[in-house]
Amino acid sequence: MNAAVAFQTLLLPLVPLVPLLILGALLFRRLSALALRLAPWAPLPGLIASLMPESGAVLELPWMLLGGSLGLDATGRVFLFLFSLLWLAAGSYASAYLRDDPRRRRFFAFFLLALCGNLGLPIARDMLDFYLFFALMSFSAYGLVVHDSSDFALRAGRIYLYLVLVGEVMLFVALALTARAAGSLAMAEAAAALAEAPDRGLILALLLIGFGIKMGVVPLHVWLPLAHPAAPIPASAVLSGAMIKAGLLGLLRFLPLGETALPGWSLILITLGLTMAFYGVVAGLAQQQAKAVLAYSSISQMGFPLLGLGLALADPESWQVLAPVVILYALHHGLAKGTLFLGVGMAGELAGTAGRRYLVLAGLLLPALALAGAPLTSGALAKGALKPLVYLAPGGWAAALPWLLSLGAVGTTLLMARFLALLWPHAAAREAPRPAMWGSWGLLILAVLFSRGGGLPDLVGLSGPPGFAYGLWDALWPVAIGGLAAAAAWLRLPHRGREAAPLLPPGDLLVLLHKLMDPLARLAHRLHIDLLPRKLSWRPPPRFHWHNLAVLLALHEAEQALRRLPVAGALFLIVLILLLVL
């Protein structure tokens, strides 16, 4: 074993262990000040490991529950780099952003737990470890969503928790069935085993739901536009930039990509991807809060890598070409979206001196243009690489997809213009950012800047001009049309208030479900139906309309369980950690 392999092998266990060690110090008051200073640096072992040359380092852990192993392949290396960099920037940003927050210690406790789970995913080599890391990340993020304990945050956290529970159950069943088909827990054998599994359709459906909730696949997306505005800015950056990529990483690990052709599932993924791409734009344009716009933008942007996975299921031989494109989408979107979320906290400088105002504006425009696919950005590289491969789509999609991708870029440009317009009017009301916030944000800006041509895309093998049909005009005209349409809307409606109610409230489909269930609730009141058992002392207040009569008692029990969440949730997380280390 040479020195590079030995060093990377040494780093692998430190990736999840360092956050847990700092968390342990945080629990002791005498060490909490030191732990708070060290917490932002917890992702550093992961970042170093991802930047090392690929060595094939593997660490076997036979003493763990059912065995286990950690390793870093080409795909994991890119995701570990993305996750580590985002958590490093967000942690440093949070140390300044929450400096005077009395709940700062609690925030970093959940932050470190979610960080441990997120960074463990790219290096997990067996299904059990992957599931445990995924569950630890998902449940710990609840504490980030409800950080300020406002009514809106608690509602967002409650909806997030419901969907997490559904997703974890679906994912556990899917992985158990996959392990049975493979006769092993090794993830390297999962895709091949799933391709031949007799219950392949059921497993694929469960995987799509379990990972789709995290990715924001419509209609499982409703937690995203609620959680992002509720969470503090640095938490939103990792929720959108890193955590939703965990769902994409799961699909990359377990779908039978390159193994067999599945035209039916290909059509499903392509349809879902396009639905996300355009629904996210329409819903995002109806928002009145900048972070809600970014949340819907994440839903829209994650539709494109899902579309790429659909193309790969149509033609297994194309996966070698499509894989770097899908992975580049994840890298490009994670960096750009993390930069935009942190940029929300920098908007106070838009009302400052001219020099700082233009610096912040440039820092916001760069990732916004990258998401839209403007020329010479990583977004243009990714979309330019994907367009020539749309001929693989089954049915009649092949002819329509190039135009739909361009229309998606127009929609993204409109969304980014909407985001900037919402930030600008009230920039003067925001607190001026602190120096550490400038440094964290600047780090991500540089990552976005160098993620095109000879920079970060080297991680996925697509640096420089790609070997696909790619032209300046193809990248320019959608952004130009979107920019002109946004300018026309700005001139036509210059005085539309930012404080006006959104045309579509965040959590869109939940509101629609509520309205659909209202007639049933009114009918129940007219018939004088007592919806609750007599032994319960609680009764609905006047004019209260239940939006889901079928699950009324389940909602009541869930509310009671949430009251015990500080204890029960902590015990659950402790059990997860013990399973990872025993």
Q: Can you give the residue ranges of every domain in the chain?
A: 126-492, 508-581
Indicate whether 488 pLDDT > 90.
no
Indicate whether 373 pLDDT > 50.
yes
- Which pLDDT score, from 0 to 100, does residue 543 have? 45
Indicate whether 566 pLDDT > 80.
no
Backbone phi and psi for residue 124, each to the nearest 5 degrees, phi listed first:
-70, 135
- Which pLDDT score, from 0 to 100, does residue 192 have? 87
- Give the C-alpha separation, 136 to 171, whole Å: 13
- Give the C-alpha separation, 539 to 534, whole Å: 10
Angle at 227 between CA 418 and CA 344, to 5 degrees: 40
Indicate whether 377 pLDDT > 50.
yes
- Top pLDDT among 495 and 433 is at 433
Q: For all residues of the chain together, what is the average pLDDT?
A: 80
- Which pLDDT score, from 0 to 100, does residue 46 have? 92
Over residues 545-558, mean pLDDT: 44
Indicate whether 524 pLDDT > 90.
no
Q: How confident is residue 471, by pLDDT bands cut at 50, 70 and 90?
A: low
Q: How confident is residue 342, by pLDDT bands cut at 50, 70 and 90?
A: very high
Max Cα distance, the chain (Å): 78
- Which pLDDT score, from 0 to 100, does residue 526 have? 55
With DSSP H G I counted as helix, E B as strand and the rest as coil, what are the percentages for the chain, rounded to 5?
A: 75, 0, 25
- Alpha helices by DSSP H, listed for 239-395, are 244-254, 263-285, 290-314, 319-344, 354-372, 378-386
Q: Model's pTM, two decimal places?
A: 0.84
Q: Which of 230-234, 330-334, 478-482 has the lowest mean pLDDT?
A: 478-482
Indicate whether 114 pLDDT > 90.
yes
Residue 572, SS3? Answer: helix
Indicate whether 85 pLDDT > 90.
yes
Indicate whether 344 pLDDT > 80.
yes
- Which residue's structure tokens are 């890119």? 78
- Which pLDDT score, from 0 to 100, does residue 469 have? 40
- Which residue's structure tokens are 């158990």? 176
**Closest among 61, 279, 42 to 185, alpha carbons compared:** 61
**Angle between helix 319-344 and helix 378-386 axes, rounded to 10 deg:** 150
Angle at 357 between CA 293 and CA 241, to 5 degrees: 35
- Give the C-alpha separation, 244 to 562, whole Å: 24
Indicate whether 577 pLDDT > 60.
no
- Which pLDDT score, from 0 to 100, does residue 523 have? 60
| Residue 278 vs residues 245, 303, 414: alpha-carbon distances, Å | 19, 9, 12
Q: How confident is residue 433, by pLDDT bands cut at 50, 70 and 90?
A: confident
The sign one gets for the Cα dihedral 163, 168, 169, 173 is positive
- Top pLDDT among 54 and 578 is at 54
- Which pLDDT score, from 0 to 100, does residue 140 have? 93
Over residues 382-396, mean pLDDT: 81
